[in-house]
Every structure is written in C-alpha cells, then in structure tokens.
Amino acid sequence: MNGAADPGLPPKRYVDGDDGHPQLVCDEREWLARPAPWGIGVLPPGVRGRKQRLFDHHHYPRLLRHIACEVCRPLVCGLFAEDGVLVPEVIPGDDARFNRWYTDHHGKQFCDGKPFLKQVRLWRTEVITDSELLNRLIDTTFNLVEKHGLPRQARTDAERSLAVELAGPNPFRPVAFDPSWQTDTTLSLAHGMYDSRDFSPMPILADALQDAGCDHPDVLAHCRDPQVTHVRGCWVVDLVLGKT
C-alpha cells in the first residue's frame, strides 16, 4: 500500500473534540457499511468508554514489539495499561536522573524507546497532562511504525478486528442481554476466561448460553467463529459479566 485512500472507506468526517482538536467520528450507518473504519476512537465517548482503554492496551503494545531494546520495550508496552496510561516508577522524571538512568542502560547508543520515555519525563514534570501523554505516546507509536515500514493494510485490518471484538458488531445498538442467560455455568465460564485470558472455551460458552435460552445469532456466532481472536474486553464475555 502506498497510502492511497481505501475505496471501501466512507469519507472522513470530523467534529470539534473536547480538547479543541478535530475528532474523527463515524455514525451507525457508516459503522455498519464497514465496521470500525478507523478503529474504536471514532465512536462517541459514551459508547467507547472503557473499551477505548482496552483497545489501547491491546493494540499499541502489539505495534511496539518492534522496539528492539530489551530495556525499553517492556517499559513502553507497560505504559498502555488496561485502565489507562500507567507510568512505572522506574522512569525518572527529572532530567539529570533520567539522563543518568538512560546512559546506564544504553551508554551512548540511542534506542527506539527513548522518544517514549521522554514523553513520560515531560508528564512527570507536569509539562503535559494525562491525555496529552496518551496522545503523544500514540503519535510516537505511529512514527515508530512508519520508520519500520510496517504494511499499512495489515495494521488497519488488525485495528478493525480488535475494535469489533471489543465493541461488538453494532456498538450503536448493543445487544439486549436477557438476565436469564446469566446462569452459574455461563458466569463461571465467562469469569474464568476473563481472569485467565484463555479464551479457548468460547464455543463451550456458546453451548451454555444456548442451554440458558439465548438464541441471539450475533452472540452465538461470535463465540463459535474460529477466525476471531478474543481478548479481555470481548463484547460477549463482557455482556455475560455485565461489564460495559
């Protein structure tokens, strides 16, 4: 891909975001025409909520595995925690300590992780806010990805399937979950998968849901689709657990 517009995508639309920056959006019609055209960030804030943080948690570390440095990679990947950016204590905030810490690990060698850690240092000294830190980490991730020349299409496909896994086929109209589908069996299966992050029992969950009277085609199909990679935040598991 050479960056040409994808013919399957609707034209991009922006509104003014909370921070005064233009925010890319999509509506239900656009989402259904092509689910998650640009990941999950296009959903209204009330719809994406916790799912946005889970998206960041799953998506960016996947791109950041291209940081070669053994010292920085786990630190940088660890910044994208499940419930928002988490800054490890080990990254010093003041310049002198940061430079000493960096030189101890890298000598005179520059590494791909440094631009990320510099953003953390700015955040620690309150030059930038939490949301600026996140935006800058994401921008820095894209710069890194460009530098490594990762194919754009592969990235977009991964982004879209993760967004649908988290938000469901139509986040504008969430599935009405019947409380009678929450049985001891479905709850224990869902809890087990959520806690262990082992989603191999998803087809068993489909059977248990069906036993409980669930006949929703999207729910059952999602559990049984062997092509889906489930992660913590899977829309069906969350539905069973009552998480939004």
Residue 143 CA to residue 148 CA, distance in Å, equals 9
Residue 201 CA to residue 225 CA, distance in Å, equals 12
Minimum separation from the CB atom of position 50 to Zn ion (A): 15
Give residues with Cβ within 8 angstroms of 68, minimum separation 6: 111, 112
Q: Which is nearer to Zn ion, 71 or 175 (CB)?
A: 71
Minimum separation from the CB atom of position 225 to Zn ion (A): 8
Cα dist. 59→39, 50, 77, 107 in Å? Answer: 10, 14, 10, 31
Longest Cα–Cα distance of the chain, Å, equals 64
Q: Which is nearer to Zn ion, 137 or 234 (CB)?
A: 234
Q: Which is nearer to Zn ion, 135 or 161 (CB)?
A: 161
Minimum separation from the CB atom of position 70 to Zn ion (A): 8
Q: Which is nearer to Zn ion, 71 or 241 (CB)?
A: 71
Residues near Zn ion (CB under 5 A) are 69, 71-72, 111, 113, 165, 230, 234
Minimum separation from the CB atom of position 112 to Zn ion (A): 7
